[in-house]
Amino acid sequence: MKRVAGVRGQFYPKNCSEIEKMIQKWNRILDEKLSDKKLLKEVPRAIIVPHAGYIYSGFTANFAYRLLANSKAKRVIVIGPSHRVYIDGLSGSTQEYYETPCQDLEIDIEYLEKIKKHFPIGFSQKAHSTEHSTETQMPLIKHYLPHAKVIEFIYGKADYRKIAKLIKDLLKDRDNVVVISTDLSHFYTLDNAKKLDNICLNGMLKKDISILDKGCEACGMIGVKAMLQVADEVDLTVDLLDYRTSADASGDESSVVGYVSAYLK
């Protein structure tokens, strides 16, 4: 029973060696350019990361995962939006392993069963099979927390407040960390994208969901809102790590996608 890597070779390289080379490059840039090296010692309880192709958003996501490695978490719960299949509520992968090019991750089925006793969780194998919002996280988790178990949740039409209750419960266990997957605005000019994305960034920093409703177009809005509600309730701070758009990689400023990474502690 394996959650096969459905977008391997599309959103990220097929081969582990290629992924490792990318991670080494990103970290070399961080080590050379980051002025405040103390930041790399932070220990997040949760992170917000993008899920586009690694050539576009990999650096942004990697920054957050480098910090997440400090948590030495035993369990990583990844929550992302469904892009291809309609889901009513939240769906969890009930397979035993999650395939990555750098060896499989174990899915914590026993823990998932405990969660299902208290929270309404369904299962849509079709939705999970090619969902990139969660799959793109797994090679990075394998690199930075190679012995951690994972749980994959994807959502469609869902009440963010219900997901917030789940996240709040998950974070009571210090062995857990939560990954919220989202990209920002899609296919605007660079100037317009930055205006819209700044609304998202401002809402995240202020932990103010009402700000997000004033123009933020994050595709993982439900997950972000849920995480910010929890941050407000349990007094987690939110700090941004990196913001960029696809134009940074492609040079095309006429139609861009925005990406952000942040950590919560």
pLDDT in tens, 141-151: 999 999 999 99
pLDDT confidence of 210, banded at 50, 70, 90?
A: very high
What is the pLDDT averaged over residues 81-97? Answer: 93
On the question of pLDDT at 74 being above 90, the answer is: yes
Gap between the Cα atoms of 39 and 177, Å rounded: 18
Rounded to whole angstroms, the Cα distance separating 30 from 141 reads: 18
| The one-letter amino acid at 49 | V
Range from 11-20, 48-57, 89-98, 145-154 carrying the lowest mean pLDDT: 89-98
Phi–psi pair at 39, nearest 5 degrees: -60, -35
pLDDT of 128 over the 90 cut: no
Give the per-residue pLDDT at 39.
Answer: 96
Residue 36, sorted as left (phi over 0), alpha (psi -120 to 50) or beta, turns out to be: beta
pLDDT score at 61:
98
Per the CB < 8 A criterion, the answer to whether 49 and 19 are in contact is no
CATH code of the domain covering residue 160: 3.40.830.10
Q: Given this model, what pLDDT does residue 124 score?
A: 79
Q: What is the pLDDT of residue 258?
A: 98
| pLDDT score of 164 more than 90 | yes
pLDDT cut 90: percent of the chain above it = 95
**Mean of the per-residue pLDDT values for the chain?**
96
Q: List the one residue out of 173, 135, 139, 140 whose CA is nearest residue 153.
A: 135
Instruction: Reply yes or no on whether the pLDDT at 126 is more than 90.
Output: no
Average pLDDT value for residue range 90-95: 92
185 contacts 210 by C-beta, under 8 angstroms: no
**Residues 200 and 212: beta-carbon distance below 8 Å:** yes
For the cut 90, the answer to whether the pLDDT of residue 111 exceeds it is yes
**Is the pLDDT at 123 greater than 90, yes or no?**
no
- Assigned token pair, 60: 């942004």
Q: Give the pLDDT of residue 37.
A: 92
86, 156 in Cβ contact below 8 A?
A: yes
pLDDT tens digit sequence for 3-18: 999 999 999 999 999 9
- Residue 48 makes CB contacts below 8 A (sequence gap 6+) with 64, 180, 182, 204, 224, 227, 260, 261, 262, 263, 264
1 pLDDT more than 90: no
pLDDT range class, residue 185, cuts 50, 70, 90: very high
- How confident is residue 127, by pLDDT bands cut at 50, 70 and 90? confident
For 113, the domain range is 2-264
Mean pLDDT (whole number) for 174-190: 98
Total domain count, the chain: 1
Listed range (48-52, 113-117, 180-184) with the worst mean pLDDT? 113-117
